[in-house]
Structure 1
Amino acid sequence: APGETKEIAVKVQDARWDIERLSDLAYDTDSQIGGLLMFFSPSGRRFAAEIGGPVIPKFVAGDMP
């Protein structure tokens, strides 16, 4: 609904983090990430939302919950 807010957690998990050396971002305190999320209403209307913030990696053994 208009004005409604929700918290969204984005999980990025892929071998490409190591292949493309993105895991090095964990050691750079100035690392930032940005993107564009697309949301669609039931009627098919598209809404774009810009996102961005610091990279805060969480390295765990196995799959994350």
Structure 2
Amino acid sequence: MKINRTGFILLNIILFAAIIVGYYELVEIKELVSIFVIPAFIISASLQYGQKDRKKKA
């Protein structure tokens, strides 16, 4: 459970940073997507996959 909690906290931090950077237009949209959104999507997908595996084993 601790791994999932850490992952969700990390995901929220990345998405919050993306919102702040996008709001102040510190980088271009392509860079914003490659720096923040794609890693957040990967983390989210891995967390969902991990939960799905745990439900099947139970």
Q: TM-score scaled to structure 1, two decimals? A: 0.23
Structure with higher helix content: 2
Q: TM-score scaled to structure 2, two decimals? A: 0.25
Higher relative contact order (CA 8 A, sep 6+): 2
